[in-house]
Amino acid sequence: MMTRLSGGQGDNSKATLAFKRFCASLGLALSLGAISALAQGPGAGGPPAQGPGGAAPPAPPTQGFESNVQIPANYTPQEAAAVAVVEAWVNSTAAHDLDAAMAVLDDNIISRPDPARQMAYGPAAQCASYPFTRMANSFVRLEELYAVGGPLDTLVLFKRADINGPAGGRGGFGGFTVDVAVLVRVRNARITEWLDAPINRIGGLVNSTEGALMQPPAGANVPDACRRYPVAGQTPARAQAAQAVRAWFAARQAGDPLLLGAFVDQSVVFRADDRTGKLVKGRAALLRAVCGTFGGQQRLTELYPIGSDFDTLVLTESVNSQGTRTASLFRVQKNLITEWMDVVVEAAGPAATANPNSAACQAVNTAPAR
């Protein structure tokens, strides 16, 4: 005799299908539960949490994105490569292999070992901030890791436990295990940015916004073991020079010569015509020379700074709306452009014709002398 589901119109096939769906859902839930436990990393398990009357506590409200589950099989190629870089750093550090740990850092890495500090530049500064590799009784342990990335860039967020050796004298963190959340940026198999944030309130570590960026960059006193690594890549002077040059291009494309003048030294030296080789001096003369060709697209496509605290040279490539490529040289001191030269390296269409009666030139001519 065939039994039907209550109120149903089908046969046993419907009951069988419903039972299969239930089993599949149950299997998926169990699988995700197991994956979630693995994603949380190793740790001692305590008794299950209980709510009032011994009942299970209600689940916290979510917006649908608070999952700690990430399946490595679903990594993008860039995510997988970045995870391997992080694991290499952790394993090398725990094995006290300084050269191997430093090998995954980019020469231009910027790092901040604590939210209280400003950014530091170069591998030597990062090395000075992380003594675990150089201290036989200190270790790091990787506990959680998540990656989001693609062809342009990859970010990896991971949790590490810093095991700071045996208890010692007063001061320091000897005998403590400090949990730290770390955000690294990985490109071309190298870590280019490193931000630490201690997640437990311990000692003098900053845990509030009031103390953020109040301390100088790390790496002022570089240990001997770290001195063989590059001291700095993108130094603050180089970064500031790059910002001045970017501002130049933004003002030029916007057609605002007076704004451009704000990023140019009063005694700037420039060459308006690369065919003559003649150099001209003065900010007012520069603005009069360029105002006639202001406005229109002049897209900055490449920028390379070389310099330090005294002087920085910046080489750029820019492309206009026709496709003409121009190489430019800027010399920058104290955030101001002190020298500028343009050279067209690939022409596409006729050269721009200067219009000395343009609105930009009228603004320059009527502006008070400065």
pLDDT tier at 62 (50, 70, 90 boundaries)?
Answer: low
Give the mean model confidence (pLDDT) for residues 114-143: 82
Residue 257's φ and ψ, nearest 5 degrees, are -70, -30
Q: CA–CA separation, 77 vs 92, rounded Å?
A: 23
In the chain, what are the domains? 72-226 (3.10.450.50), 236-366 (3.10.450.50)
Q: What is the DSSP string of 85-143?
A: HHHHHHHHHHTT-HHHHHTTEEEEEEEESSTTBPPEESHHHHHHH-GGGG-TT-EEEEE
Whether the CB-CB separation of 264 and 285 falls below 8 Å is answered with: no
| β-pair partners for 79 | none
Give the mean model confidence (pLDDT) for residues 63-67: 56
Provide the 10 A C-beta neighbour count for residue 216.
11
| Sheet strand arrangement including 325-333 | 280-281, 264-271, 336-346, 325-333, 312-320, 298-307
Whether the pLDDT of residue 293 is over 60: the answer is yes
- Residue 191's pLDDT is 94
Give the mean model confidence (pLDDT) for residues 15-23: 46
CA dihedral 186, 191, 197, 200 (to 10 degrees): 100
This prediction's pTM: 0.48
Q: What is the DSSP code (8-state) at residue 54?
A: G
More confident residue, 78 or 172: 78
Whether the pLDDT of residue 294 is over 50: the answer is yes
Q: CA–CA separation, 221 vs 176, rounded Å?
A: 24
Sequence letter at residue 53: G
Whether the pLDDT of residue 292 is over 80: the answer is no
Whether the CB-CB separation of 142 and 160 falls below 8 Å is answered with: yes
pLDDT tier at 53 (50, 70, 90 boundaries)?
Answer: low
Pick from 202, 316, 183, 298: which is nearest to 252 by CA? 298
- Which span out of 115-119, 169-173, 232-236 was modeled with the highest average pLDDT? 115-119
Give the mean model confidence (pLDDT) for residues 280-306: 82
Rg (CA), the chain: 30
More confident residue, 23 or 67: 67
Whether the pLDDT of residue 321 is over 90: the answer is no
- Buried residues in 116-142 as b, exposed as e (16+ CB within 10 A): bbebbbbbbbbbbbbbbbbeeebbbbb
Whether the pLDDT of residue 30 is over 50: the answer is no
Q: Where are the alpha helices (DSSP H) in 213-328?
A: 236-254, 257-261, 283-290
Q: Which two tokens stand for residue 279?
A: 């150099």
The proportion of the chain whose per-residue pLDDT surpasses 70, expressed as a percent, equals 65
The proportion of the chain whose per-residue pLDDT surpasses 90, expressed as a percent, equals 19
- Residue 84's pLDDT is 96
Whether the CB-CB separation of 300 and 320 falls below 8 Å is answered with: no
Longest dimension (CA), the chain: 105
- Residue 34's pLDDT is 36
Provide the 10 A C-beta neighbour count for residue 346.
11
- Residue 43's pLDDT is 33
Give the mean model confidence (pLDDT) for residues 229-237: 65
User: Which region among 9-23, 70-84, 210-224, 324-338 has the lowest average model confidence (pLDDT)?
Assistant: 9-23
**For residue range 323-369, what is the model confidence (pLDDT) as tens digits?**
888 899 999 988 899 999 888 888 887 777 667 777 767 776 776 65
Give the mean model confidence (pLDDT) for residues 287-309: 79
Give the mean model confidence (pLDDT) for residues 226-233: 73
Whether the pLDDT of residue 120 is over 90: the answer is no
User: Which region among 32-36, 45-49, 302-306, 330-334 has the lowest average model confidence (pLDDT)?
Assistant: 32-36
**For residue range 138-184, what is the model confidence (pLDDT) as tens digits?**
778 898 899 999 988 899 998 888 876 555 544 445 557 788 888 89
Whether the pLDDT of residue 37 is over 50: the answer is no
Give the mean model confidence (pLDDT) for residues 117-145: 83
| β-pair partners for 329 | 315, 341
| Mean pLDDT (the chain, rounded) | 74
Whether the pLDDT of residue 23 is over 80: the answer is no
